[in-house]
Amino acid sequence: MNNYLAVCVLVLLTARTFAAPEAGSCPTRDLDASRVAVAGGSITEIIYALGAQDKIVAVDRTSNFPQAATRLPSIGYVRAVSAEGLLALNPTLVLGEHDMGPGEVVEQVRKAGLPVVVLPEVHTVQGIYEKVACIAQIMDAQANAVAKLRDAMDGMVHQLQVDKGGERPRVGILLSLADGVPTGGGRDTSAHGVLTMAGANNVFAGFSGWKPISLESMAESDPEFIVMPVRGIEAAGGREAVLAHPSVRLTKAGKNARIIAVDGMTLLGFGPRTLVAARDLAQQFKPQGDPG
């Protein structure tokens, strides 16, 4: 067992809250990660946090953190990567998020002999820990870098602990107001996962996935807070335009101007920064004057 695996196993086994990744959830075969093309912003974020960024030869357009990653060659958007662009860069491995695509391009790249590893997405704190452990294993990250990142994540998770007996705020995450219609995150989405981590009730938990929300549904769900990606707010015309939107202005969130803007990848990417987003949201959801 190499030094990384020894430390990783020790860290995972000694954690009181989180179990080790399930067997088979991370590739165990030998992989050459000397030249990696990344399709997924949270993967890029984690590789940089582990100090293994020198092995990245290209990233997708969602890889906007840290800023240095935006200067790397692009393989397109995560759901629309280019086979030609990938192969031209001569990577030894493609490491992608669960929504990397289109499927026919991924299959084309594999048929060309280029290994493609698609990481599963689990919208929980444990899922973030498992993603980090898997990427660290694939990248053969240094043991001290793994331990440092783990310690930082442990600190954020500790701050995320909430009083389970308290009343949880009713919150909705809107991805956008495209064509005037809000798109909300229901169950089985990153939106639901981050709200659960932040100690909130997802007002759209009655359906699964991302779906358009009618005026009637918004009025019925009546969120106390609405969270939106910064880009979604900008595309809607700004914060005041969102507050004035018919589907928003009659909700508690609209009446009290409780629209919270968060960077989209930080909020929904489910890398370590999502823990920061959940922690910050939990603070903003607290009633004014709450000293805790």
pLDDT digits (tens, 9 = 90+) for 36-57: 999 999 999 999 999 999 999 9
Tell me, yes or no, whether 7 and 111 share the same domain: yes
Number of separate domains in the chain = 2
Residues 142 and 184 occupy one common structural domain: no
**Where does a domain end: 132, 159, 186?**
159
Task: With respect to residue 39, please indicate whether it lies within any of the assigned structural domains.
Answer: yes
- pLDDT, residue 1, reads 39
Supply 214's token pair. 């009618």
Q: Which domain holds residue 182?
A: 170-285
Pair 179, 200 in one domain: yes
Q: CA torsion angle for 104, 108, 113, 115 (degrees, to 10)?
A: -30
**Do 184 and 205 contact (CB within 8 A), yes or no?**
no
Radius of gyration for the alpha carbons in the chain, expressed in angstroms and rounded? 20
Owner of token pair 């602990």: 161
- Tokens encoding 94: 């493609």
Phi, psi at 196, each rounded to 5°? -60, -45
pLDDT in tens, 125-177: 999 999 999 999 999 999 999 999 999 999 999 888 754 446 799 999 999 99
* Domain stops at, among 105, 138, 159: 159
Q: Are 253 and 139 in a shared domain?
A: no
Span of 6-10, 179-183, 230-234 with lowest mean pLDDT: 6-10
Query: Does one domain contain both 141 and 190?
Result: no
135 and 234 co-located in one domain = no
In this prediction, residue 28 carries a pLDDT of: 60
Check pLDDT > 70 for residue 13: no
CB atoms within 10 A of CB 1: 8
Q: Which of 136, 159, 182 corresponds to the end of one domain?
A: 159
104 and 26 fall within a common domain: yes
Asked whether residue 28 falls in the same domain as residue 144, the answer is yes
Q: Is residue 23 part of a domain?
A: yes
Q: How confident is the model at residue 21 (pLDDT cuts 50, 70, 90)?
A: very low
| CA 67-70-75 angle, 5° bins | 155
Compute CA distances 167 → 65, 162, 271, 280, whole Å.
34, 10, 27, 18
Statement: residue 180 has pLDDT above 50: yes
Dihedral of alpha carbons 118, 122, 123, 128, sign: negative
Whether 215 and 137 share a structural domain: no
Asked if 77 and 204 sit in the same domain, the reply is no
In degrees and rounded to multiples of 5, residue 125 shows phi and psi of -60, -45
User: Which CATH number goes with the domain that contains 225?
Assistant: 3.40.50.1980
Asked if 150 and 187 sit in the same domain, the reply is no
Average pLDDT, the chain: 88
Q: Is residue 101 part of a domain?
A: yes
3-state secondary structure of 279: helix
Q: Is the pLDDT of residue 10 over 50?
A: no
Shared domain check, 84 and 19: yes
Question: For residue 166, what pLDDT is reported?
Answer: 62
pTM of the model: 0.87
